[in-house]
Structure 1
Amino acid sequence: SIACAQMGDPNASIPTPQPVYTRPMFAAFGGSVQNSAVSFVSAAAQDAGIGAALGLAKTTVPVEHTRTISKADMVHNDYCPDIEVNPETYEVRADGELLTCEPAIELPMAQRYFMF
């Protein structure tokens, strides 16, 4: 379901007018809203019928196996180095290796407005 999309002027005669705004689409209205999303609840709440008790139109789904998830379970971000920070020199080391970075010359995202 498409709930929102980048759209230009609805009165324009070409498909790429400026400025472009995020506007609600067909799935953001009516019965589409509750049919295109779920509410995650605890297993105890699911067993107690929380959806009916609260009159929820969305489907409720119990969360599972969340207490055993750790950093090691992350597919692309499982590295856990030993971080040391020297409080006097502010040197930062990861697994004994000194981490350095040169000052940024240009900060393109630090402007007031970012277009495109």
Structure 2
Amino acid sequence: SDSQAMGRVGEVVIRTWQTADKMKRQRGALPGDRSGNDNLRARRYIAKYTINPAIAHGMSKHIGSVEAGKLADLVLWTPAFFGVKPDLVIKGGAIAMAQMGDPNASIPTPQPVHYRPMFGAYGRARTGTSLTFVSRAAVEDGLAAKLQTSKLMVAVENVRGGISKKSMVLNDATPHIEVDAETYDVRADGELLVCEPADELPMAQRYFLF
């Protein structure tokens, strides 16, 4: 989120799906998507902020995807608000954040509804449902005992020689890039890359009126 020294970590998810929408409008459906669905595109773009950052940072053994043996870090959405307003944030299997109205209300749909911390955001649940990633040298040196931390420390893995663009799930393309020094035209494998400004963006202001 900070590639241009202007990190907007709170916008990563929305911007990812806005980019997915723009690329479909600009370049059409992916060859692997059939019958009008966008399953491959959805998998490609969700991998950009889940499993691929975990792989790049050496954390994919523990986080980054929904698999047995990994932390149960999940975000649940109502489909109409996917990528915009999650219903539940589950950290390590415990509900950390959820949308709630007035707890003293007498009806099931009170307003306003906003995010509130749940059981997973308090006390020992915070350390029992998360990890601290450090170097292998720090683990072998007994850093956790020295700092007397209650959170489990684990070492990152495979962050130097054994990783490349080919390691990125559904995002491993490495086209030959050419940039014209005079016109600044950019070509990938000989194809001129163009992208007009968007006239309308999905997942924008209308989602945040209430």
Q: Which structure shows the higher helix fraction?
A: 2
Residue matched to 2:177: 83
2:114 to 1, 21, 24: 21
Matches within 5 A, 1:62-101: 62-67=155-160, 68-101=162-195
Q: CA deviation at 1:15?
A: 3.4
Matches within 5 A, 1:1-116: 1-67=94-160, 68-108=162-202, 111=205, 114-115=208-209
> What secondary structure is seen at the aligned counterpart in 2 of 1:51?
helix
% identical aligned pairs: 63
| TM-score of the superposed pair, with normalisation by structure 2 | 0.49
- After superposition, what is the alpha-carbon deviation per residue over 1:41-66, rounded to whole angstroms, capped at 9, x for unaligned? 11111011100101111011111222
Code of the aligned partner of 1:34: T
The farther-off stretch of 11-20 and 69-78 is 11-20
Listed as ranges, the gaps of 5+ residues in structure 2 are 1-93
Q: CA deviation at 1:71?
A: 1.1
Query: Aligned partners of 2:131 and 2:165: how far apart in 1?
Result: 26
Q: 1:90 to 1:15 in 2, by over 3 A?
A: farther
Of structures 1 and 2, the one with the larger relative CO (CA 8 A, separation 6+) is: 2
> What secondary structure is seen at the aligned counterpart in 1 of 2:187?
strand
- After superposition, what is the alpha-carbon deviation per residue over 1:9-33, rounded to whole angstroms, capped at 9, x for unaligned? 3233333333332211001111111
| TM-score of the superposed pair, with normalisation by structure 1 | 0.82
Code of the aligned partner of 2:182: E
Q: How many residues align?
A: 116
